[in-house]
């Protein structure tokens, strides 16, 4: 009997020690994440994260690709580069840029400017594009590439600037088209950006935006521990401030509060994230000569816990107010 009691006591002690060790390890991992990884991604380094991501991830699976978007994937789409261009074409169409009128366009968060070159080649020769980004490195690259485009180089202007301070750079009612392609979810004050757009847009102008919001079933930042963790890591890696982790309803309210109204809204989630992850993981694992099982694990994990919706909205000024 004493032996049984002693054995049970030993098991209990071992169990308590293991629990304490697990708690300590989890706490160490949490501290490491917040003090190293979280801090790194949250630092303002002129989008160094995106520069790193482009070189070490995107261009591993898609050589010389400077489009920074998830792409629009049709059923038979085969490459990331083609899907990137399809999304840009979708924005071009929904912004009614194919009317061949004279446009004064502002592209906010232009990145490396690949989409601006693509759009400008199809625009009227009377149209102008001003493209702005917070990354000096990306603007420098865009200007360097633009010099090699003699037919359009005088119709695109890349400048360094902050989406929050647009009114310090441009005059009110300066643009009849404003574009935000997959960038507004980065901004610390997205509501302020929307208000800036309303001020800069002409009365007959169009604001076209592609953005990322939380799915409705993730209203409270996830309904499982896995989604909570994924949202945390994804929001850090993609530089999404906590205040931008909102659902579509709240996002639409922010648009309306800025003085804009939504005339068209498209949820294209089923043609973005999962197809992107499928292509990315399959090709990245192949390029790095890693076991193919990693592709299955990573793709299915991302597909299962993917918490975001990808939306495209066409907006105009609400002149009734």
Residues 6+ apart with CB under 8 A from 302: 273, 274, 277, 281
Work out the average pLDDT over 153-180: 96
Cα–Cα distance for residue pair 139/37, rounded to 1 Å? 26
pLDDT at 210: 98
For residue range 223-249, list pLDDT tens digits in order: 566 677 778 777 777 778 889 999 999
pLDDT at 106 over 80: yes
92 vs 231, higher pLDDT? 92
pLDDT confidence band for 21 (50 / 70 / 90):
low
pLDDT at 146: 96
Q: Which is nearest to 85 in space by CA: 131, 130, 116, 60?
A: 116
pLDDT at 222: 43
Residue 133 near residue 160, CB atoms below 8 Å: yes
- Provide the token pair at 56: 């070490």
CA angle 247, 274, 295 (to 5 degrees): 135
Residue 178 near residue 258, CB atoms below 8 Å: no
Cα–Cα distance for residue pair 162/189, rounded to 1 Å? 11
Question: Where on the phi/psi map is residue 71: left (φ > 0), alpha (ψ -120 to 50), or beta?
Answer: left
Residue with tokens 């601006």: 116
pLDDT confidence band for 12 (50 / 70 / 90):
low
Name the least confident of 127-141, 161-175, 298-312: 298-312
pLDDT confidence band for 44 (50 / 70 / 90):
very low
Cα–Cα distance for residue pair 230/303, rounded to 1 Å? 11
Please report, for residues 162, 192, 268, the alpha-carbon distance to residue 189 in angstroms, rounded to integers and kept in the order given: 11, 5, 24
pLDDT confidence band for 220 (50 / 70 / 90):
very low
Find the Cα–Cα–Cα–Cα dihedral 115, 52, 159, 114, rounded to 10°: -10
Share of the chain above pLDDT 70, in %: 81
Range picked from 50-54, 118-122, 241-245 for highest mean pLDDT? 118-122
Distance between start and end Cα atoms, the chain = 84
CA angle 269, 275, 280 (to 5 degrees): 130
Work out the average pLDDT over 205-231: 77
Residue 275 near residue 69, CB atoms below 8 Å: no
Instruction: Tell me the chain's radius of gyration from C-alpha atoms.
Output: 23
Cα–Cα distance for residue pair 313/321, rounded to 1 Å? 20
Summary mean pLDDT of the chain = 86
pLDDT at 51: 76
pLDDT at 7 over 70: no
**Residue 146: how many CB atoms within 10 A of its CB?**
21
pLDDT at 321: 63
């Amino acid at each position: 009997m004493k032996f049984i009691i002693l054995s049970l006591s030993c098991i209990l002690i071992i169990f308590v020690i293991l629990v304490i060790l697990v708690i300590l390890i989890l706490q160490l991992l949490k501290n490491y994440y917040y003090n190293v990884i979280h801090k790194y991604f949250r630092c303002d380094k002129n989008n160094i994260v995106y520069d790193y991501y482009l070189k070490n991830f995107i261009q591993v699976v898609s050589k010389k690709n400077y489009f920074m978007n998830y792409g629009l994937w049709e059923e038979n789409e085969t490459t990331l580069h083609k899907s990137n261009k399809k999304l840009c074409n979708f924005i071009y169409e929904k912004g009614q840029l194919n009317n061949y009128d004279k446009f004064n366009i502002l592209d906010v968060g232009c990145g490396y400017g690949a989409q601006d070159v693509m759009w400008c080649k199809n625009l009227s020769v009377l149209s102008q594009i001003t493209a702005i980004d917070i990354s000096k490195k990306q603007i420098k690259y865009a200007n360097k590439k633009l010099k090699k485009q003699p037919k359009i180089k005088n119709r695109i202007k890349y400048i360094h600037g902050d989406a929050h301070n647009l009114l310090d750079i441009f005059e009110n009612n300066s643009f009849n088209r404003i574009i935000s392609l997959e960038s507004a979810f980065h901004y610390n004050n997205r509501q302020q950006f929307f208000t800036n757009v309303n001020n800069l847009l002409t009365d007959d102008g169009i604001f076209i935006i592609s953005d990322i919001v939380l799915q409705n079933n993730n209203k409270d930042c996830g309904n499982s521990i896995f989604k909570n963790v994924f949202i945390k890591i994804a929001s850090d890696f993609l530089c999404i401030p906590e205040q931008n982790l909102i659902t579509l309803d709240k996002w639409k309210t922010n648009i309306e509060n800025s003085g804009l109204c939504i005339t068209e809204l498209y949820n294209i989630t089923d043609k973005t994230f999962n197809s992107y992850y499928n292509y990315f993981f399959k090709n990245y694992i192949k390029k790095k000569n890693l076991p193919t099982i990693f592709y299955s694990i990573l793709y299915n994990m991302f597909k299962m816990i993917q918490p975001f919706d990808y939306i495209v909205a066409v907006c105009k000024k609400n002149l009734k107010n």
